[in-house]
Amino acid sequence: METSKLSDLLKLGLTEGEAKVYAALLELGSSSVGPVTKKSGVSYSNIYEILQRLVEKGIATVIVKNGVKQFSGVDPVNLGRYLEKKQEELDDQKRLLVEALPRIESLGNLHSNQDAQLFVGVKGLIAAYKELFKDSEKGDENLWIYVHDERYADKSDKFYMHTWLPIVRNIKSRGIADTSYRKSPFAKAFGKGHEIRFADFPIFSHGEVFKDRFLLVSWEDPVIAVLVSAKHVSDNFKKYFESVWELGKK
């Protein structure tokens, strides 16, 4: 069979074996299994199964003549009905999926999903934040705790001013920093649209949480960020944050 013709049938959703057998039926007309096997090049062990599938799809017919099954391929013009049937089946499957989706999704809640990713360098940190906020929507809230350190203050301030702030522009954000950070350019800029409090006692640094994801950042050279997706980790950080928030000063 010409490759182009076989390709056309494959595009309609037929398997290679089905395409070869259907083409053989068109060329042979009404035929028993033997000639179809020889013409199509399909092995005898598979021919009956393929013929049965073609009959079920409505693109082949079978009759018994003198005790022998005779197969024929339907007129190619009728392949349109085959495609219509496929579309009907697909529509039915879509409807079933809509009905079953809540039940299927509930299976994912039967066990805890958690993973961790490591990001290195400033570009890696940008990628980490994009992953952290990948499904953010207006009204969502982000929580963070940061300890100021002169060793990397310039680098971190520039990053959070020019890269991080635009990312959280459309969500709510609350942050806690040590009191030495009160006069920093970032703290002043952040306080205009979000809430920040300052702690005059030792606090954890640098952690950030959004939904069920927790980001740990080290500003030592090179910058390293670890993004953990785990509900229990995020929930524990949120509890810690709220306890410090109550003690912090505006």
pLDDT in tens, 24-37: 888 888 889 999 99
Better pLDDT: 13 or 137: 137
In this structure, the answer to whether residues 100 and 201 fall within a common structural domain is no
Instruction: State how far the Cα of 143 lies from the Cα of 175, in Å rounded to an integer.
Output: 6
Predicted confidence (pLDDT) at residue 117 exceeds the cutoff of 90: yes
pLDDT tens per residue, range 238-249:
999 999 999 988
Better pLDDT: 207 or 89: 207
Of the three residues 111, 146, 170, the one that is the final residue of a domain is 111
Give the H/E segment covering residue 14.
none
C-beta of residue 114 within 8 angstroms of C-beta of residue 230: yes
Q: What single DSSP character describes residue 203?
A: -
Q: What rounded mean pLDDT belongs to the chain?
A: 85
Instruction: State how far the Cα of 20 lies from the Cα of 8, in Å rounded to an integer.
Output: 11
In this structure, the answer to whether residues 92 and 206 fall within a common structural domain is no
Q: What is the CATH number of the domain that holds 53?
A: 1.10.10.10
In this structure, the answer to whether residues 123 and 231 fall within a common structural domain is yes
Tokens of 39: 């013409």
Predicted confidence (pLDDT) at residue 41 exceeds the cutoff of 60: yes
152 Rama sector, left if φ>0, alpha if ψ -120 to 50, beta otherwise: alpha
Of the three residues 83, 111, 139, the one that is the final residue of a domain is 111
Predicted confidence (pLDDT) at residue 12 exceeds the cutoff of 80: no
Please, which residues have CB within 8 angstroms of residue 97's CB and are 6 or more apart in sequence? none
Predicted confidence (pLDDT) at residue 106 exceeds the cutoff of 80: no
Measuring CA to CA, how many Å separate 32 from each of 17, 29, 57, 72, 226?
A: 17, 10, 19, 9, 67
In this structure, the answer to whether residues 79 and 143 fall within a common structural domain is no
**pLDDT at res. 4:** 59
In this structure, the answer to whether residues 126 and 183 fall within a common structural domain is yes
**pLDDT at res. 245:** 94
Of the three residues 64, 80, 111, the one that is the final residue of a domain is 111
Percent of the chain with pLDDT strictly greater than 70: 92
In this structure, the answer to whether residues 31 and 149 fall within a common structural domain is no
In this structure, the answer to whether residues 104 and 121 fall within a common structural domain is no
pLDDT tens per residue, range 149-178:
888 888 888 888 888 888 777 888 899 999
**pLDDT at res. 104:** 66
Please report which residue ranges of the chain form alpha helices under DSSP H. 3-11, 16-28, 33-40, 44-57, 79-107, 121-132, 153-159, 165-167, 185-190, 231-247
Please, which residues have CB within 8 angstroms of residue 51's CB and are 6 or more apart in sequence? 21, 33, 36, 60, 62, 71
29 Rama sector, left if φ>0, alpha if ψ -120 to 50, beta otherwise: left
Q: How many domains does the chain have?
A: 2
Please, which residues have CB within 8 angstroms of residue 30's CB and are 6 or more apart in sequence? 63, 70, 71, 72
The pLDDT of 103-128, averaged and rounded, is 77
Lowest mean pLDDT among 181-190, 203-212, 223-232: 181-190
**pTM score:** 0.54
Residue type, 234: S
**pLDDT at res. 107:** 57
**pLDDT at res. 218:** 92
Q: What is the CATH number of the domain that holds 124?
A: 3.30.870.10
pLDDT tens per residue, range 181-204:
888 877 777 767 688 899 999 888
Domain region containing 175: 115-247
Instruction: State how far the Cα of 92 lies from the Cα of 71, in Å rounded to an integer.
Output: 30
- The pLDDT confidence band at residue 2, using thresholds 50, 70 and 90, is low
Sign of the dihedral defined by the CA atoms of residues 104, 105, 108, 109, in that order:
negative
In this structure, the answer to whether residues 179 and 123 fall within a common structural domain is yes
**pLDDT at res. 5:** 64
C-beta of residue 156 within 8 angstroms of C-beta of residue 219: yes
Instruction: State how far the Cα of 13 lies from the Cα of 1, in Å rounded to an integer.
Output: 17
The pLDDT of 218-226, averaged and rounded, is 90
In this structure, the answer to whether residues 91 and 11 fall within a common structural domain is yes
Tokens of 201: 């006692």
Closest CA to 130 of 143, 119, 139, 140: 119
Better pLDDT: 79 or 63: 63
Instruction: State how far the Cα of 47 lies from the Cα of 163, in Å rounded to an integer.
Output: 63
In this structure, the answer to whether residues 33 and 49 fall within a common structural domain is yes
